[in-house]
Amino acid sequence: MKILGRKVKPARILVYAILVATAVTMLVPFVWMLSASLKLSKDVFSFPVEWFPAQPVWHNYVDIWTKVPLALFIWNTSKLTVIVTLLQLLTSSFAAYAFAKLDFKYKNALFLGYIGTIAMPWQVYMVPQFIMMREFHLNNTHLALICLQAFTAFGVFLMRQFYQSIPDELCEAARIDGMNEYQIWWKIMLPLSKPALSTLTIFTFVTTWNDFLGPMIYLTKTELKTIQIGLRMFIAQYSAEYGLIMAASVVTLIPVLVVFLALQRFFVEGIASSGLKG
């Protein structure tokens, strides 16, 4: 079969068709959510589905800011997400440089032990973490979540895999020129690792922004709660106002979408060069 003058195998056409169908299927819930956010609650579950409302209810996006302190929840979430993301980029890239480019005793054993923590579910050490934060008097503070999420074994693994693809000769040449390890990390390794840093930024941002259980455990004051807890409060208080709930969900989704679109050109490159499969 020829398409635009090029011969294309039927098997490839079938693969493309399956991928397109899968992509459309995954997008349907998001399109429905956007459509429902512009409807009255009584029209949200009408059948057949009205994908493009004849009379969009735009005031849903105005009402959500007055029903609950949504702006405060977004500010709290943004603050936590930005701080945690920056800290994970710093700690992961710094530790990964040591594991990838420095030689010290028991390096491989230490790395395997650290990476092995990825296999341990958070629920296993959730209670000891809570007791530790309580003893430090950090309950009901954002600092508790920041301290617990500032380090990540997955980030170290991701950055180390990328650093190993950078020739050791660059580091050796820099040492000959008089650079110390901090300067090599800052001036050589970080500029060359933008794809891996972008990938880690996306993973960390999405995970922290969508975190529900952590803030639920450590934050009980309304003025400290995050957007996911705020959205749960919104659903509890206005369980029948589906149009408002969908509008709040759309607003919650926007920052994640913006970050992913801004960094997507580095994402695939970072995944491929870091040795991850998925």
pLDDT one-digit tens code per residue, 119-178: 888 888 888 989 999 999 988 899 999 999 999 999 999 899 889 888 888 889 999 988
pLDDT score, position 49:
77
Q: How confident is the model at residue 278 (pLDDT cuts 50, 70, 90)?
A: very low
Q: How confident is the model at residue 78 (pLDDT cuts 50, 70, 90)?
A: very high
- 67 burial (CB, 10 Å; 0-12 / 13-18 / 19+) is middle
Q: What is the pLDDT of residues 202-246, one digit of tens each?
A: 899 999 999 988 899 998 888 899 988 888 877 777 666 788 888
* pLDDT for residue 66 is more than 50: yes
pLDDT score, position 60:
84
pLDDT score, position 104:
85
Q: How confident is the model at residue 69 (pLDDT cuts 50, 70, 90)?
A: confident
Q: pTM, whole model, 2 decimals? A: 0.83
> Mean pLDDT across the chain, nearest whole number?
85
Distance, in Å, from the CA atom of 236 to the CA atom of 82, rounded to the nearest integer, reads: 28
Q: Using a pLDDT cut of 90, give the percent of the chain over it.
A: 24
pLDDT score, position 7:
67
State how far Cα 54 lies from the chain centre: 35
pLDDT score, position 267:
66
State how far Cα 25 lies from the chain centre: 22
Q: How confident is the model at residue 275 (pLDDT cuts 50, 70, 90)?
A: very low
87: closest CA among 205, 245, 195, 231?
205
Distance, in Å, from the CA atom of 218 to the CA atom of 211, rounded to the nearest integer, reads: 12
pLDDT score, position 276:
44
93: closest CA among 5, 156, 180?
156
Mean pLDDT of 87-113: 91
Distance, in Å, from the CA atom of 246 to the CA atom of 181, rounded to the nearest integer, reads: 50
77: closest CA among 236, 243, 231, 180?
231
Is 60-273 in CATH node 1.10.3720.10?
Answer: yes
* pLDDT for residue 264 is more than 80: no
